[in-house]
Structure 1
Amino acid sequence: MARKPLMAGNWKMNKTIPEAVAMVKELKGKIADVKDVDVLICPTFTAIAALANEAKGSNINIGAQDIFWEAKGAFTGEIAPNMLVDAGCTYVIIGHSERRQYFGETNETVNKKVKAALANGLIPVVCVGETLKEREDDVTFKVIESQIREGLKDLSKEDAAKIVIAYEPVWAIGTGKTATPDQAQEVHAFARKVYGEMYGDACQQVRILYGGSVKPDNVKELMKKEDIDGGLVGGASLKADSFEALVKFNN
């Protein structure tokens, strides 16, 4: 089954609202003719509504970088799923390694957030990946398997097919190190196999993105691999030129 590639920009804690709008305005013009790749930008919460407005009628989707699993209540600082939809989101990143590392995200909270996102019509981009120590200790596959089995458990077959998985070797994020295309493909194929054991054919529909220092100079080699369906991009998504090059990796 041919899966449509997805290039997703995770802006992390960068850009004020005017900076964000200026970037999307510029990008919009540069990639207006792209039809063979889905494009996603995930800005900070404060810029979501402005970007959704700016991206209206274009081929750019807007997502959030996190979500909370309750619909409302006394959860200071959290954002409910319907609030993200209201602001113009269609996707949401869940379980990013930085959320796991700094903010106590666990496979259990990832699972709650995934279900809340799906219940509100949002497409979850669920992050999995191992640290440098885990890779050196040779437990990469064990870590990936538990993150998928625990983080994505108890979904309907229909919902299971809507998920996007992002493999991010934590040791390659922002370090300039990149997993080789073969290393990345090996983990992507393994992730798809585990997901297939859980949800059968849905694993063939699910897009698995690579998320460890994706740049214009390595994207082509990565995208040639059978199980790599796009990128979850950090630094290279903050400039219109470099993100355009990633979106147009086919050209």
Structure 2
Amino acid sequence: MRKPIIAGNWKMHKSIKEGVAFVEAIKPDVANTDVEVLICAPYTLLQNMVEAAKGSNIKIGAQNMHFEDKGAFTGEVTADMLLEIGVTHVIIGHSERRQYYGETDQTVNLKTKKALAKGLVPVVCVGETLEQREAGETKDVCKTQIVNAFEGIDAKDVPTIVVAYEPIWAIGTGKTASSQDANDVIAYIREVLKDLYTDAVSEEVRIQYGGSVKPANVEEIMNESDIDGALVGGASLLEADFVQLVNF
């Protein structure tokens, strides 16, 4: 049985003080949930939020990392830097990283391998643009991204990876793929993983949906057969909304 994972992606929001206050505020309200609770915050907040989350079931993740261990990469951070402050997860290949900062399928693969080697849980994002969706290319795009992201990754490491299916046209737009459409694509992604590995390995991988998930639609989304969680943007910034998402 796959344990659901509800993750907040705060993107470029909140101060250290606000991040710590958020963690402290939600602790009692998410303490008894059956899902994995994750907040991915900006780098500057991470250490303080890890400290605030100690003794709770809240895990803290980063939104990106480099695939090298050190070097002349201005503005980047390494897996070891994240581990040193207690971070457990890292988002890799988010569409905004692909669109604005030159993330490619190759760098997603390198980062995923590095995260696994260091003991971080990679949350690997895939998804199509509106143009690709309208052209009927959704499954082809997702298949290519999955195949490239998992290239050279050993079967024993695959269940550690969380996949996030995020149709780009639904991120921050208020538009959401229907729960059935999202489930169909996620079921297809699981089939791709079966082809790459085995049925058993594929069945262990948790696959989230992301794209304008909010308290009003999270229960419907989570009731689908192949959806194992949500990667949430805007609605994860409000304490009450995030608590509702976790306790769907």
Question: What TM-score do you get using the length of structure 2 for normalisation?
Answer: 0.98
Q: Which amino acid aligns with 2:188?
A: F
Q: Percent identity?
A: 55
State the alpha-carbon separation in 1 of the partners of residues 36 and 167 from structure 2.
23
Is the contact between residue 26 and residue 239 of structure 2 (CA under 8 Å) also seen in structure 1? yes
Q: Which amino acid aligns with 2:184?
A: E
Over the residues paired in the alignment, what is the CA RMSD in angstroms? 0.6
Is the contact between residue 7 and residue 230 of structure 2 (CA under 8 Å) also seen in structure 1? yes
In the other structure, the counterpart of 1:153 is 151
State which of 123, 126, 131 in structure 2 corresponds to 1:125: 123
In the other structure, the counterpart of 1:93 is 91
Matched, 1:47 2:69: no
Residue 30 of structure 1 deviates from its aligned partner by 1.6
Report the number of matched residues: 247
Is the contact between residue 159 and residue 206 of structure 2 (CA under 8 Å) also seen in structure 1? no
State the alpha-carbon separation in 1 of the partners of residues 246 and 141 from structure 2.
30
Map 1:199-210; keep pairs closer than 5 Å: 199-200=197-198, 201-210=200-209
Any gaps of 5 or more consecutive residues in structure 1?
A: none
Residue 152 of structure 1 deviates from its aligned partner by 1.4
User: What is the DSSP-based 3-state SS (H/G/I as helix, E as strand, rest coil) of the residue aligned with 2:216?
Assistant: coil
Residue 90 of structure 1 deviates from its aligned partner by 0.5
User: What is the DSSP-based 3-state SS (H/G/I as helix, E as strand, rest coil) of the residue aligned with 1:49?
Assistant: helix
In the other structure, the counterpart of 1:217 is 216
State the alpha-carbon separation in 1 of the partners of residues 229 and 31 from structure 2.
19
Map 1:97-116; keep pairs closer than 5 Å: 97-116=95-114
Residue 151 of structure 1 deviates from its aligned partner by 1.2
In the other structure, the counterpart of 1:237 is 236
User: What is the DSSP-based 3-state SS (H/G/I as helix, E as strand, rest coil) of the residue aligned with 1:213?
Assistant: coil
In the other structure, the counterpart of 1:27 is 26
Most deviating of 22-31 and 180-189: 22-31
In the other structure, the counterpart of 1:81 is 79
State the alpha-carbon separation in 2 of the partners of residues 21 and 179 from structure 1.
32
User: What is the DSSP-based 3-state SS (H/G/I as helix, E as strand, rest coil) of the residue aligned with 2:182?
Assistant: helix
User: What is the DSSP-based 3-state SS (H/G/I as helix, E as strand, rest coil) of the residue aligned with 1:112?
Assistant: helix
Residue 33 of structure 1 deviates from its aligned partner by 2.0
State the alpha-carbon separation in 2 of the partners of residues 136 and 32 from structure 1.
42
State the alpha-carbon separation in 2 of the partners of residues 175 and 105 from structure 1.
22
State the alpha-carbon separation in 2 of the partners of residues 214 and 116 from structure 1.
29
4+ long deviations beyond 3 Å: none
State the alpha-carbon separation in 1 of the partners of residues 47 and 240 from structure 2.
23
| Deviation by residue 1:46-104 (Cα, 9 ceiling, x = unmatched) | 00000000000100001000010011111111100010111111110000000001001
Q: Which amino acid aligns with 2:135?
A: D
In the other structure, the counterpart of 2:8 is 9
Matched, 1:168 2:166: yes
In the other structure, the counterpart of 2:61 is 63
User: What is the DSSP-based 3-state SS (H/G/I as helix, E as strand, rest coil) of the residue aligned with 1:226?
Assistant: coil
State the alpha-carbon separation in 1 of the partners of residues 191 and 226 from structure 2.
11
Q: Which amino acid aligns with 1:67?
A: M
Q: Which amino acid aligns with 2:130?
A: L
User: What is the DSSP-based 3-state SS (H/G/I as helix, E as strand, rest coil) of the residue aligned with 2:74?
Assistant: coil
Residue 157 of structure 1 deviates from its aligned partner by 1.1
Residue 29 of structure 1 deviates from its aligned partner by 2.1
| Deviation by residue 1:188-236 (Cα, 9 ceiling, x = unmatched) | 0000000111121211010000001110010111111110000000001
